[in-house]
Amino acid sequence: MSNPEPSVMQKIVSLSKRRGFIFQSSEIYGGMNGCWDYGPLGVELKRNVKEAWWADMVSRHDDIGVLPGAQSSFEMTGLDCSIIMHPQVWRCSGHHDLFHDMMVDCKESKKRYRHDQLRGRWAEYRDKKVFVTAMADPEEEDEAFTARAQKFFGLRAKDRDQIKWDGSACSLETIDELELVLGPDAKDAGTLTEPREFNLMFKTQMGALHNDDSMAYLRPETAQGIFVNFKNVVDSSRVKIPFGIAQVGKSFRNEITPRNFTFRVREFEQMEVEFFCHPDTSQDWYSYWRDRRMNWYLNHGLSSENLILREHHSDELSHYSTGTADIEYAFPFLPEGEYGELEGIAHRGDFDLRSHMEGKLDPNSKPLEVQLGENGKPLWKGSGKDLSYRDPVSNEKFIPHVIEPSAGADRAALAFLCEAYTEDNAPDDKGEMQSRVVLKFHPRLAPMKAAVLPLVKKDGMPEKAQEIYRELKRKFPVFYDVKGAVGRRYRRMDEAGTPFCVTVDGETLSDETVTLRERDSMVQTRLKVDEAMQAIQEAIDC
Partner RNA sequence: GCGGGUGUAGCUUAGUGGUAAAGCCCCAGCCUUCCAAGCUGGUCAUGUGGGUUCGAUUCCCAUCACCCGCUCCA
Q: 3-class DSSP state for residue 9?
A: helix
| CA atoms of 259 and 186, how far apart (whole Å) | 29
Give per-residue burial for 332-360: e unless 16+ CB within 10 Å, then b. Answer: bbeeeeebbebbbbbbbbbbbbbbbbbbb
CA nearest neighbour of 444 among 516, 540, 517: 540
Q: Closer to RNA by CB, 522 or 535: give it.
A: 522
- The distance of closest approach from Cβ of residue 475 to RNA in the complex, given in angstroms and rounded to an integer, is 21
Using the 8-state DSSP alphabet, how is residue 413 labeled?
A: H
Q: 3-class DSSP state for residue 312?
A: coil
- The distance of closest approach from Cβ of residue 117 to RNA in the complex, given in angstroms and rounded to an integer, is 13
- The distance of closest approach from Cβ of residue 161 to RNA in the complex, given in angstroms and rounded to an integer, is 36
Torsion, Cα 249 255 257 261, to 10 degrees, reads: 0
- In whole angstroms, how large is the CA radius of gyration of the chain? 30
Q: Closer to RNA by CB, 401 or 492: give it.
A: 492
Neighbours of 464 (CB within 10 A): 20
CA nearest neighbour of 333 among 411, 407, 406, 435: 411
Beta bridge partners of 389: 398
Binding site for RNA (CB under 7 A): 1-3, 6, 9-10, 14, 17-18, 24, 30-35, 94-95, 98-99, 105, 110, 112, 200-201, 220, 253, 255-261, 264, 333, 335, 426-429, 434-437, 455-459, 483-488, 490-492, 495, 503, 505-506, 514-515, 517, 522-524
Neighbours of 306 (CB within 10 A): 16
Q: Closer to RNA by CB, 264 or 347: give it.
A: 264
CA nearest neighbour of 244 among 391, 81, 54: 54
- The distance of closest approach from Cβ of residue 124 to RNA in the complex, given in angstroms and rounded to an integer, is 31
- The distance of closest approach from Cβ of residue 155 to RNA in the complex, given in angstroms and rounded to an integer, is 30
- The distance of closest approach from Cβ of residue 90 to RNA in the complex, given in angstroms and rounded to an integer, is 9
Residue type, 234: V
| CA atoms of 56 and 445, how far apart (whole Å) | 13
- The distance of closest approach from Cβ of residue 469 to RNA in the complex, given in angstroms and rounded to an integer, is 15
Per the CB < 8 A criterion, the answer to whether 264 and 255 are in contact is yes
- The distance of closest approach from Cβ of residue 496 to RNA in the complex, given in angstroms and rounded to an integer, is 11
What is the CA angle 47-340-332, rounded to 5? 85
Q: Closer to RNA by CB, 2 or 82: give it.
A: 2
- Is the Cα dihedral 460, 464, 467, 472 positive or negative? negative
Torsion, Cα 186 187 190 194, to 10 degrees, reads: -10
- The distance of closest approach from Cβ of residue 363 to RNA in the complex, given in angstroms and rounded to an integer, is 9
- The distance of closest approach from Cβ of residue 315 to RNA in the complex, given in angstroms and rounded to an integer, is 13
Q: Closer to RNA by CB, 146 or 262: give it.
A: 262
Question: Quick one: how far is CA 432 from the chain centroid?
Answer: 44
Using the 8-state DSSP alphabet, how is residue 189 labeled?
A: B
- Backbone dihedral angles phi then psi of residue 134, each to the nearest 5 degrees: -160, 155
- The distance of closest approach from Cβ of residue 392 to RNA in the complex, given in angstroms and rounded to an integer, is 34
- The distance of closest approach from Cβ of residue 525 to RNA in the complex, given in angstroms and rounded to an integer, is 10
Q: Closer to RNA by CB, 284 or 495: give it.
A: 495
Q: Closer to RNA by CB, 31 or 279: give it.
A: 31
| CA atoms of 328 and 415, how far apart (whole Å) | 10
Per the CB < 8 A criterion, the answer to whether 365 and 352 are in contact is no
Residue type, 247: Q
Q: Closer to RNA by CB, 27 or 386: give it.
A: 27
Q: Closer to RNA by CB, 381 or 491: give it.
A: 491
Q: Closer to RNA by CB, 199 or 283: give it.
A: 199
Q: Closer to RNA by CB, 155 or 482: give it.
A: 482
Q: Closer to RNA by CB, 1 or 157: give it.
A: 1
| CA atoms of 353 and 416, how far apart (whole Å) | 34
